[in-house]
Every structure is written in C-alpha cells, then in structure tokens.
Amino acid sequence: MGPTVAGEDQAMTELREKHRVDLERLTLTSRPFKTLAFFVLAIAQSLGRTCSCVLKKGAQLKVVVLLVVATWVLLLFTDGPHEKHVQELLWYVRFGLWWFLLGVASSIGLGSGLHTFVLYLGPHIALFTIKAVQCARVDLKSASYDTILLKRRPSWLEKDCVEFGPPVYQETIPFSKILQEVYLEAVLWGIGTALGELPPYFLSRAGFIQAALHLINIAYFT
C-alpha cells in the first residue's frame, strides 16, 4: 500500500510540474494558435453556460428579453424626437464597453504582456490632468464619454483654454476634483481587469481537474 501511494504522489507531483511548465510556455508569441484556440474555447464555454442559464429561467425571462430587444431595434431604426437620446445612450454604451474591454485585455493579455493602463488609461488621466492644470478648471468634458475611444479623440484635447471660459481655480486644483472626472473610466477598466482573470482561472482549474481524474483512473484500473 505504501509504495503505491508514494508512486501516486510522485506521479501527481510530476504532472503538476508538467502542467505548470506548459502554462508558462503557453504565450501568444511562442504558441499563438494554441493560445487563441484555448481563449476562444473558454469564451465559447462561458457564453454557452450563460445561454443555458438564461434558457432555464423559463418563458417569462424569454418574453422580457424579446420585448427589450424588439423595443431597442424599434427605437434604433425609427426617426423621431427620441433619436438624439438613443444616440446619447449608444455613446455611453460604447464608452462603457471600451474601457471595460481594455481592462479585460490588460488582464488576459493572451501572453503578450499587453497592459492597457500604460497604453490608454494612464495617458488619458495624464492628459486630462495636464489640460485641467493648464486651464485651471476641470469641467472640460462635454459628457462623461468624452474620453479616448476607438477611433475617437476627446474633444477637450484640441481646444484652447479660452473656449472653456475663465479659470475657476486660482491655485492648485484639488485632487478630488480631478478624480471625479476620471474615476468612471478607471472603475470600468478595473472591473474589466478583475473579470478578465476568470477565463485563465477556469482554464487552469479545468486542466487540473482533468489531470487529477486521469491519475485517479490510472490508479484505479492498474
């Protein structure tokens, strides 16, 4: 009994070490196709579980979802006084998705070391702070979504300080005032970063469970 247990422990240790080495080598630069394949499989699995959960909730939820989708399509493709509000809502959705997905990309990275804080969020906060100090005021944005977005520069970046009006702060701008203007994109980015940790976790967990089951089968049938 003793040698058998020791052998199983040794096999488990070797398998864990092999699994750790494989994870370290699994990067976008060294194994791009395998990395992307695992990423797509993880996303597909998550979407499948979500859809399955939604479908199990019953007919009432399906009716509500259909009504919401139908209403949204109707508002989106019909003209009227509601059009400007729909466009405003679309800008907010684009704003939220942009910073959220940047957080996810920063967390997942796909083995490339992509860090979107250094590339996007950090420069955005720095540019806004510099502009606010230059103009001695923080009400530079035309709306909350007036930030760096995909194929869009913020409107306040190219404007002259005269266009915003006279200076509001004669001395140093309080940190809290600048924070109020940039915290929303930072929070969205942070949420994306946190949720972006889930796919790698589930991949590692699934791999470990599969390896453990394989060892159990070997020990049981041999």
DSSP string, 27-78: -TTTSHHHHHHHHHHHHHHHHHHHHHHHHTT-HHHHHHHHHHHHHHHHHHSS
Is the model's pTM score more than 0.75?
no
Give 90-107 pLDDT, tens digit per residue.
899 999 999 999 988 888
pLDDT at 8: 62
Say which DSSP state 135 is in: H
Q: Which residue has the tokens 């701008």?
A: 173
Task: Say whether pLDDT at 2 is over 50.
Answer: no
For residues 105 and 110, give the distance between their C-alpha atoms in angstroms, rounded to a whole number: 8
Q: Between these two residues, 28 and 22, which has the higher pLDDT value?
A: 22
Give 130-148 pLDDT, tens digit per residue.
999 999 999 999 999 999 8
pLDDT at 1: 46
Q: Cα–Cα distances in Å, from 205 out to 144, 180, 199, 212? A: 39, 39, 10, 10
Supply angle C-alpha 161, 92, 149, rounded to 5: 60
Q: Between these two residues, 24 and 101, which has the higher pLDDT value?
A: 101
pLDDT at 39: 76
Q: Between these two residues, 122 and 54, which has the higher pLDDT value?
A: 122
Residue boundaries of the structural domains of the chain: 2-221
Beta bridge partners of 149: 152
pLDDT at 133: 93
Give 156-193 pLDDT, tens digit per residue.
998 999 999 999 998 889 999 999 999 999 999 999 98
Task: Say whether pLDDT at 6 is over 70.
Answer: no
108 in Cβ contact with 200 (< 8 Å): yes
Strand spans (E) along the chain: none
